[in-house]
Structure 1
């Protein structure tokens, strides 16, 4: 059945592609954060172990919301590691950093998600896609706050 939500197929496709990049960044950050949760050591172990768990649980919920928005726009959501690697601006971890290194890399990941989300606003705003704009605003707010809180641990 044809989709008639007031946004052309071409514009929906552009927005869905941008959201696919956001999904890939979010999923890659989820994996990174889960890795840090499992492998953190040192004097801040308990604090970071619990915090990373909270972060990856939030990201697990977020990827579902993002994927469902892509589907609502009429396009398939990427769902394989190879697709995520191709689409994500966040690189996989090749080593296990110390606790402060994990915090720094987590900050970088959250800021990458913010940049990706922010880059999608023009396409959403151009066609009055308030649903996508609202999703982007929520993601930006959460990731900016998380990055700030993580940076505070390094001071």
Structure 2
């Protein structure tokens, strides 16, 4: 059945394009957080192993909520690794050591990149594309990434 939610098809398509890139970023960040959880070494292994597990579980929920938002506005979510790698703004490469500090710094960079991506698009989605629901959804997601970034930043503060 046709989606008739008061937002034009053209605007829903533009919003979907933004959300698809965000979904890809979330999935890449999820994978990188799993890498940190799986490959961590060091004196703080147990504490950070649990910390990264909490984070990847939260990010998995973020990705699911973005995909569901795409479906709510009448489109299909990208769902292959190839799609995600083609759409993401993040790099899947990691060049640090297997220490909590290096993993945390790399993940913080990615959270900051996602925060900036969302922040730069909320106004356009609400004003230009007339989708206050997605703008509101993204505001909440932005706040969750800001909290995670704060926790990551606080753990590597000098």
TM-score (norm: length of structure 1): 0.94
Whole-Å separation in 2 of the counterparts to 1:65 and 1:79 = 13
Secondary structure in 2 aligned to 1:125?
A: helix
Offset at residue 96 of structure 1 (A) = 5.5
Structure 1, gaps ≥5 residues long = none
Matched, 1:86 2:101: no
Q: Per-residue CA shift, 1:92-122, capped at 9, x if unaligned? A: 1345623211010010111111122123213
Query: Aligned partners of 2:155 and 2:62: how far apart in 1?
Result: 24
CA-atom RMSD, angstroms?
1.4
Structure 2 residue aligned with 1:150? 152
Within-5 A mapping of 1:2-21: 2-21=2-21
Distance 1:79 1:125 in 2: 26
| Equivalent pairs, count | 155
In 2, the alpha carbon distance for the partners of 1:122 and 1:138 equals 14
* In the alignment, structure 1 residue 110 sits paired with structure 2 residue 108: no
User: Residue 122 of structure 2 aligns with which residue?
Assistant: 121
The answer as to whether partners of 2:11 and 2:130 remain within 8 angstroms in 1 is no
When structure 1 is superposed on structure 2, of 110-119 and 75-84 the one drifting more is 110-119
Is 1:99 aligned with 2:100? yes
Map of 1:22-37 to 2, 5 A cutoff?
22-37=22-37
Whether contact under 8 Å (1:110, 1:144) holds in the other structure is yes
Asked whether the equivalents of residues 14 and 123 of structure 1 are also in contact (C-alpha less than 8 Å), the reply is no
Q: Which residue of 1 aligns with 2:58?
A: 58
1:128 deviates by: 3.6
Distance 1:101 1:60 in 2: 22
Q: Flag as ranges the 4+ runs of structure 1 deviating above 3 A.
A: none
CA–CA distance in 2 between the matches of 1:95 and 1:111? 18
